[in-house]
């Protein structure tokens, strides 16, 4: 969670994905083609970091939440 109260986390199921929770609304963080997408954290500049799990490899990512 950042200082503005924006929260990121993970929903675990058969198709796990990250989420962002802001102003009472959940939004999924999904990378097309990935088996799973996770969100590890968010900073005060709204930069989200996490991992993308593809068949045979895992990649890290960062993205700015707008």
Extents of the domains making up the chain:
7-64
Distance CA 1, CA 56 (A): 31
Give the per-residue pLDDT at 4.
Answer: 96
Contacts of 4 (CB under 8 A, 6+ apart): 44
Give the per-residue pLDDT at 15.
Answer: 79
Q: Name the pTM for this structure.
A: 0.87
Distance CA 66, CA 47 (A): 9
Give the per-residue pLDDT at 54.
Answer: 95
* Phi and psi at residue 45, to the nearest 5°: -95, 10
- pLDDT, tens only, 5-42: 999 999 988 778 999 999 999 999 999 999 999 999 99
């Amino acid at each position: 969670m950042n200082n503005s109260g924006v929260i990121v986390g993970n929903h675990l199921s058969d198709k796990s994905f990250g989420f962002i929770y802001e102003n009472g609304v959940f939004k999924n963080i999904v990378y097309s083609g990935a088996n799973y997408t996770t969100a590890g954290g968010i900073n005060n500049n709204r930069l989200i970091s996490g991992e993308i799990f593809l068949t045979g490899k895992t990649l890290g990512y960062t993205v700015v939440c707008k």
